[in-house]
Structure 1
C-alpha cells in the first residue's frame, strides 16, 4: 500500500493526543523511552513517531510499544489509547487470539502458520509480532523432535512434511528480512538451519525428487542465514554459510543453488573489499547459471561482476558488465527465474548501478540511480526501501548536496524502528561523517542531532 493511500484513510488519534497533555512530542517521546527502559524494552521513539501515532498513521503499535504504553498508562487497553484492536488490524476474527495462533506455529516457521507468506499487513508497526514469533519458535532440538528425529531410528525416511518445513522456513526468513533486516534474526535463524542439516545427515529420502528438494532447501536456508550474518556485520559467519551452501550444491549437482551461492559470495567479497574475489565468484555464478534459462539471474550476476570491477577501479570492465546486465534485464522475467530472486527488479538493478558509480567516485551519477531505486521500490519491502534511501543519502552527501542528503537521512531514520540492519546503520553513519563539516547548512544540523540520538538509544 502506498503512503498516499495510507494517509487518505488515516483517522487522527485524539485519545493519544489527550494523553500527551502539555508535553511536546519530543518530551513525550523521551518519557516513552524512559518507560521502556523501566521494563527492559528498547524502542527508538522520537517526536516523529509520536506525530505518526497522533496522525493515525499507526493504527496499532508493535508489541514492544504496546507493552511500554500499557506500562505508562496502567488500567488502559489499546482501544483506550486510541488504537485499533490487533485482531481487527491483522484481519483475524475475534475468536482466534494471536497467542493461540502462535502456539500452533510449526517450529520451522518464523511466524504463525495461519498467515500466508505472501500477505503483508496494512500497517508497518504490527509486523513486529512476526519477528517475535520467529524468535521464540524453539531450539533446533525442538524442531528436530517435532519432525521425529528425536524418536525415530537414525535411518528414518524423510518425506514431504520435512522437506516442506525446510522450504517454508526459507520463505519466511526471507519475508522477515524484507520487512525488518537481519539484526536480531541471525542467531534465531541458525536454529532451523541446524535442524535442516540434521535431516540430511540422519535420514534417507523416500524418493530422489524428495532428496533433491531437501538438498536445495537446506542449501537455500544456509544462504538465507548467511545473508542475515552478512547484513548484520558477521562477515566470517556469512562466508562459512555460503561455503556450506556451495558444497551442498556441488554434492547435489544443483546449478541453481550453485549460482545463488556464488552470487552471494560475490556480494560479500565486494563488501569486504576483496574485489578480485567478487569478480571471480560472479563469473563462476554465471557459468553455473548458463545451464538455466533465466536472463534475470544472469543479469544479477553480471551486476555483481560489475560491482567487483568498480571496486578494482576498472571502469571499462565495469561498464561492459553493466551493459550485459541491461541487455539481459530487458529480456524480461522467465518461468525459470529462481524463487529467491523475487527481490530483483528494476529498483534493485538501479541500486546496484548506483553502488558501481559510487565505487568509481561518480557520486552525482550514483545519486541519480539511487533516487530512481527509492522511487520505484515497493513500500512493502521496508528493508530495501531503507537501504536505497541510505544509499541515496550517502551519495548526495559525497556529491555536495547536504540538504538533500539530510532529508534522505531523515527518511531512513523514520524506518529504523522497523528495520535492524548493521549495513544500513553503517551507511547512515558514513553520511553523518561526511555532513559533519556542513552542520550549519540548512537541515543538516537536525539530521546530525537526530542521528546522534538514535545512536545513543542503540
Structure 2
C-alpha cells in the first residue's frame, strides 16, 4: 500500500507528531461545534494510505491546519465524487445531436467569503496549538505559509471587501508568526514579522491587528531591555481606534503599558496604568473576538498585575495575585499557566521562601512535560535561577533545583 508522502512532508514541515496533529485537528473541530473524531490511529491510516479520503469535517480541519487544499496533502476523492471543483459544460454537436465533447471551463474561480472563513479557521487552529505548546518553528512556518496563501488570493478576490479581508488575514497570520518567534525568543525574526504585519494591517485598515502588532512590539522591546520603547509601544496600542470601540482591547493596551513602566521602576505610572486596565476590563462585554485575544481576561490581567507588583517591589502582593490568577487561567492555556507558575516562584523567592519557591518552580517542568520549553519560558526560569543562586548559593534545595534546571534545559 502506497503511503501519503505529501501529508508526511507537511507534518514534518510543521513539526507535528501524529498525536499532536490529532490534538490540533480535534481543537479545530470542537471550536466549530463538532466532536473531536481524530486519533493518532486516524493520522496513521492517512499516512499509510489506508484512508485515502477523510470525512468531510476532517478534510476541512486538515485544510484549516495546513492552509492548503486537501488535494495538496496527497488525498484524492473516490471516483464517484467530483475530481475537481471546476465547472464542466456539455456541448451537443449540431450535426449529430449527440454529446461530442466535455469542455472544461478553465477560468480561475473567484475568491469569496468561504475562502476567507477557511483561512480564518487556520489562524484559530494555530492559536490553539500555541496555547498548549508555545511558540516554535513549525508554528511560525505554518503561519508564514498562511499569510502567503492569503496574499496569493488577492488577484482573484471577488470584491474590494474580500481584498481587505484577505489583507487582514495576511496581517493576522504574519502577527501569529511574529508571536511564535517572540515566544521562542527569536528576536530578529520577530522584528521582521512585526514590520511586515504592521504594513499589512495598514493595507487591511484593520485596527485589531494593528493593536496586536503594537502589543508584540512592546513585548519585543522588553525582551531586548528597551523599556522606554516598550512604554512607547504601549501608548501606540492605546491610540489604535479599536480601543475606543472595545474596552477589552483598551485594557490590554493599558496592561502592557503598566509592565513597561514597572520595568523602568516608575511605581506610580505602573499602578496608574494598571488601574486603567482594570477599569476598562470591567466595561468589556462578552462578544466574538479574534482567537489571538482569547487569552486575555480577568485571569490574565491578574497575572500581569503579579508581574508589575513584583517588579515594583511588592512581592507579597505579587504572590497573592499569582495564586489568584492560577485559580482561573483556563486549563487549555497550558503555556500561560506555566508562566504564571514561574512568576509565583519568583514572588516567593523574593520574599526569602527558598524551599517553597523551588517546589513551585519545579511545577513548571511538570506542566510542560512532553514539549520543549519555549524560549521565553527558558529565559524566565534562567532569571529565577540567577536570583536563586544569588540569594541562597549554598542551600541544598537550590543546588537540587539547579541540577533539574540544567537537565530540563538540555532536553529542550
**TM-score, normalization by structure 1:** 0.66
Q: Is the 8 A contact 1:406 1:443 kept in 2?
A: yes
The one of 323, 327, 332 equivalent to 1:380 is: 332
Q: Is the 8 A contact 1:292 1:336 kept in 2?
A: no
Q: Is the 8 A contact 1:394 1:427 kept in 2?
A: no
Per-residue CA shift, 1:72-129, capped at 9, x if unaligned?
xxxxxxxxxxxxxxxxxx964899833346799xxxxxxx963998xxxxxxxxxxxx
Per-residue CA shift, 1:233-288, capped at 9, x if unaligned?
11121122122121112122222221222122122222222222222222222221
**TM-score, normalization by structure 2:** 0.72
Residue 145 of structure 2 aligns with which residue?
192
Q: Is the 8 A contact 2:67 2:146 kept in 1?
A: no
Per-residue CA shift, 1:321-344, capped at 9, x if unaligned?
111111111123343644431111
Residue 429 of structure 1 aligns with which residue?
382
Partner of 2:110, secondary structure, is strand
For residues 356 and 366 of structure 1, the distance between their equivalents in structure 2, rounded to whole angstroms, comes to 8
The one of 384, 405, 408 equivalent to 1:451 is: 405
Residues 153, 297 of structure 1: CA spacing in aligned structure 2 closer, same or farther, 3 A cutoff? Answer: farther
Structure 1 segments unaligned to the other structure (5+ residues): 1-60, 65-89, 105-111, 118-129
Partner of 2:233, secondary structure, is helix
The one of 262, 269, 277 equivalent to 1:325 is: 277
For residues 425 and 206 of structure 1, the distance between their equivalents in structure 2, rounded to whole angstroms, comes to 46
Residues 245, 290 of structure 1: CA spacing in aligned structure 2 closer, same or farther, 3 A cutoff? Answer: same
Partner of 1:206, secondary structure, is coil
For residues 94 and 267 of structure 1, the distance between their equivalents in structure 2, rounded to whole angstroms, comes to 36
The one of 24, 43, 65 equivalent to 1:98 is: 43
The one of 287, 290, 306 equivalent to 1:335 is: 287
For residues 451 and 320 of structure 1, the distance between their equivalents in structure 2, rounded to whole angstroms, comes to 36
The one of 356, 368, 377 equivalent to 1:416 is: 368
Per-residue CA shift, 1:380-423, capped at 9, x if unaligned?
21111111111212232233111121111111011233443111
For residues 381 and 59 of structure 2, the distance between their equivalents in structure 1, rounded to whole angstroms, comes to 33
The one of 327, 330, 355 equivalent to 1:403 is: 355
Residue 288 of structure 1 aligns with which residue?
240
Partner of 1:222, secondary structure, is helix
For residues 342 and 304 of structure 1, the distance between their equivalents in structure 2, rounded to whole angstroms, comes to 16
Residue 223 of structure 1 aligns with which residue?
175
For residues 433 and 373 of structure 1, the distance between their equivalents in structure 2, rounded to whole angstroms, comes to 25
For residues 106 and 280 of structure 2, the distance between their equivalents in structure 1, rounded to whole angstroms, comes to 49
| 1:244 is the counterpart of 2:196 | yes
Deviation at 1:182, TM superposition (A): 0.9
Deviation at 1:292, TM superposition (A): 4.8
Residue 317 of structure 2 aligns with which residue?
365
For residues 62 and 217 of structure 1, the distance between their equivalents in structure 2, rounded to whole angstroms, comes to 27
For residues 94 and 63 of structure 1, the distance between their equivalents in structure 2, rounded to whole angstroms, comes to 7
For residues 301 and 229 of structure 1, the distance between their equivalents in structure 2, rounded to whole angstroms, comes to 21
Residues 351, 154 of structure 1: CA spacing in aligned structure 2 closer, same or farther, 3 A cutoff? Answer: farther
Deviation at 1:62, TM superposition (A): 8.0
Decide which moves more: 388-397 or 320-329: 388-397
Partner of 1:157, secondary structure, is coil
Q: Is the 8 A contact 2:147 2:171 kept in 1?
A: no
Looking at CA atoms only, which structure, 1 or 2, has the larger radius of gyration?
Answer: 2
Partner of 1:97, secondary structure, is helix
